Every structure is written in C-alpha cells, then in structure tokens.
Amino acid sequence: MTPKERLSRIRLARTEGVGPMTYRRLLHRYSSAEESLIALPELARAGGRSAPPRVPSMAEIAREEEALQKMGGKFLLLGEAPYPPLLALLDDAPPVVAVLGTAETLSKRAVALVGARNASANGQRIAEHLGEELAEAGFVVVSGMARGIDAAAHRGAMRAHNGRGCTVAVVAGGLDVPYPHEHVALQQAIAEHGAVVSEMPLGTAPQARHFPRRNRIIAGLVLGVVVVEAALRSGSLVTVRIAQNAGREIFAVPGSPLDPRARGTNDLIRQGAHLTESISDVLENLPDHPAREGLSRLPLFAREAALGSDEILEDSPEDRDHADRDAGGDVNAATLAELRTQIPDLLDRAPIAVDELVRRCHFPAAAVMAVLLELELAGRIETLPGNRVALLGTSP
C-alpha cells in the first residue's frame, strides 16, 4: 500500500456518513480509497443528499498522524499485518485504530475484564486478583480504563511479574483526551505495560454514543469476557451482547442477590455464562479461537449470521465487475431510480436483514446494494452487523 493510499484510507474512514461496513463496501466496489473518495459526492447525491459529505483533507490526516507519532503512537489499518486478527473478524471492525504503546500486544491471547464503575471494594479486589492471575498465566487483560472494575483490572494485570505486554485499554475518546481525567497517569502506565487503543480522531472528547463503539473493540480483541459486578442495565452488558454475537466466551462472577450491582452478573449465569470464582473457571472454558464451538452453539449465545456481507467482500474480481455493471450501468437507470424510492418506504428504525429486503424488492441484489450504499452516504440509513440495515431520522 502506497503512503498516499494509506492516508486516503484514513480519510475515507473519517468521512462523514462512512461507517465501518460502508468503508469495506466502498473499497470492494472501487479499486482504491482514492477512487472511492472521488465517487462519494455523486453517490451521496443519488441517495438524496443535497450537500456532499465532509471529507477530511490529506493535510488534516497527515497532521494528525504526525501528532500521534509525537505522542509515541501510530495508526493500524484494517488489512495491514499489525492489525489485530481477532478484531478483524468483526463484521464492523474499525477501519483504523490509533495505538499508544506496543501494537503487537493487541494480537496476543487476551481476556476482557469489565464491570461496574461504582464497584464495591470487594468487586475491585476480585478484579485486581483476576487481572493479575490472567497476566501471570500469559494473557493480556483488556478493559475500558473506566473507574471501578476496569481500572482495578488494569492495575492487577500490571502487578504481574511478566511486566510489559500484559494489559490493553480501549478508550472512547481521542488518545490525547484521557477519560476520566484522574486516569491520566493510569493511561501512561498502561501504554508502558501494553497498549492504549482508540478508534476516534485525536482531540475527540468522549460522548455517550462513543462507548458502545469502544465496547465492540473490547469484545473483538479477546477470546472471552469476564464480568465483575454489573447492574441489569449496564454498559458492561453491551460488551457482553457484542461478544456473544461474535462467538466469544462469557464469564460472570456471582454476587449477593441483595446488591443491585450483582443482578446483571447473576442473570448472565442464569442464562448460561460460566460461573467464575477463580482463574481456573476461565482457563478451563476459554477457547483457542472464537470459531471453536462452545457457548456459541446455545441459542442465547448464537452469533448472528452475516448473510451477504461475506459475499460482498469475497466474490471474485469478475463477479465484482459484473455486479458493478448491473448496479450502476445506464441500462438499469430506471431500476435504480425506482429502488431509491421503494427502499426507504420498506425500511423503518427496526433493523432488517438485507437478504430479506432483496426478497421484498424483487430486484437484483447488486442493484439493491448499490442503492443502500447511496442511502447510507446520504445519511438516510445505517448498516448494522449481521448485514442488516435500518432507517435513520431526518436526512441531512
């Protein structure tokens, strides 16, 4: 990959309206990120957008990369060798992540340790102990650097005798905006003992909508997720749900039925998560790879089938060229125009599988996919994991 194409891929990933799955479809449809960027304004206009989406300039991305390098960090791009292989398995794997510390840490065998921010003293002690034992056993401990259980897990891992490469923090904002603020020193220590990772551009202050995106990275980096204290409506359970869909193993530390912070973990155990009292409960049930059948074969933990998305990414160049001609040629202009009207009427805010949408449209799949791409770039729909789509609110 040339330096120019590399910067262009970061620009594409940072373009308004381009999510992780749209990024992959654009790269598949066009020969490069540069050509994708050239095509964006017309695609968005065809989808009903009046103004073209904002695309960061080459100079903006170059300045951000220079600032990241001065911090001691670097970008990892999906498809490059240093990119973590387990994370790349996600349907919505981030196209680019910024890393402080040792990037190779992200590709080691890892376990996530997550839980309540308002954790009890006992919960924090358990998280520290599990973090230290997992690191002693050779695993990287992944968490979100939040208060409570997350911070305890990181500190426990850094106490292990194996020193460097023992913990990874995935943060919701830019790497230059540590959150919470009192964890500035903790972030620096984690970077020295492993890595700190973010999908967001430098200078981004974390917002509520960023945390689910952060949680999917936590789930994607690991073989299993251990939950220590979580209420029934907890951000940690978002991580669990993503991990379940990705085929990761789920572990939960039981707690008192009188403590609201234990209701989420106790409910996970009730539904089939591994009851975890010590590291042996983790080691005995941790797969070598997410593809190994374990809890994933139970209905509760079933991975959503990504029907269609793999085909879009893996067909041959000949098939791709044929699909592009079918979807965008002048012969099918009337079909595309009809689909641009029909598809939004078939969608609502509840996600629907693309293959189901194709059946309802009674038009070629390639034409449907071409219009879905236009509508997403116009900000009218969103593409979700499992090759599903949903209608968004008002158009830009």
φ/ψ (deg, to 5) at 251: -130, 145
Read off the tokens for 130. Answer: 């599990």
Q: What's the pLDDT score for residue 163?
A: 64
Task: State the Cα–Cα distance between residues 332 and 42, nearest whole angstrom.
Answer: 17
What amino acid is encoded at 167 in this protein?
T
CA-CA distances (angstroms) from residue 250 to 185, 268, 276, 296?
Answer: 30, 8, 10, 10
- Say what the pLDDT of residue 323 is: 38
User: What secondary structure does DSSP assign to 256-275, as a single string?
Assistant: -TT-GGGHHHHHHHHHTPEE
CA dihedral 318, 323, 328, 331 (to 10 degrees): 90
Per DSSP, the three-state class of 320 is helix
pTM of the model: 0.83
Tokens of 298: 């139970």
The structure tokens listed for 304 are 């959503």
Nearest Cα residue to 168 out of 182, 189, 137, 147: 189
Helix, strand, coil percentages, rounded to 5, for the chain:
50, 15, 35
The CB-side HSE value for 155 (13 A sphere, CA atoms) comes to 15
Give the CB-side neighbour count of residue 130, counting CA atoms within 13 A: 35
How far apart CA 24 and CA 258 sit, in angstroms, is 47
Name residue, tokens 């620009």: 11
- CA–CA dist 365, 351 (Å, integer): 18
| Cβ–Cβ under 8 Å, residues 114 and 147 | no
Q: Which residues contact 22 (CB under 8 A, 6 or more apart)?
A: 373, 376, 377, 383
For 114-159, the three-class secondary structure string (H helix, E strand, C coil) is: EECCCCCHHHHHHHHHHHHHHHHCCCEEEECCCCCHHHHHHHHHHC
CB atoms within 10 A of CB 339: 23
CA gap 195, 121 in Å, rounded: 26
pLDDT tens per residue across all 396 residues of the chain = 899 999 999 999 999 989 998 999 899 889 899 999 999 999 998 888 888 889 999 999 999 999 999 999 999 999 998 899 999 999 899 999 999 999 999 999 999 999 999 999 999 999 999 999 999 999 999 999 999 999 999 999 999 966 677 999 999 999 999 999 999 999 999 999 999 999 999 999 999 889 999 999 999 999 999 999 999 988 899 999 999 989 999 999 999 999 999 999 999 999 999 999 999 999 999 988 776 554 443 333 333 333 233 332 333 333 333 334 334 443 368 888 888 888 888 888 888 988 889 888 888 888 888 888 888 888 888 888 777 888 886 544
C-alpha dist (Å) from residue 19 to 23, 26, 33, 159, 256: 6, 10, 14, 38, 41
Q: Which domains does the chain have, with CATH numbers?
A: 3-70 (no CATH), 87-301 (3.40.50.450), 309-391 (1.10.10.10)
Across the beta sheet with 388-391, the strand order is 352-353, 388-391, 381-384
Q: Which residues contact 201 (CB under 8 A, 6 or more apart)?
A: 14, 64, 174
pLDDT at 314: 31
Find the helix or strand (DSSP H, E) in which 390 lies: strand 388-391
CB-CB contact of 131 with 154 (8 Å): yes
Closest CA to 101 of 127, 82, 126, 124: 82
pLDDT (0 to 100) of residue 311: 30
CA nearest neighbour of 373 among 1, 40, 129:
40
Give which of 10, 20, 16, 27 is closest to 66, Cα–Cα: 10
Task: Give the contacts of 342 (CB within 8 A, at least 6 positions apart).
Answer: 361
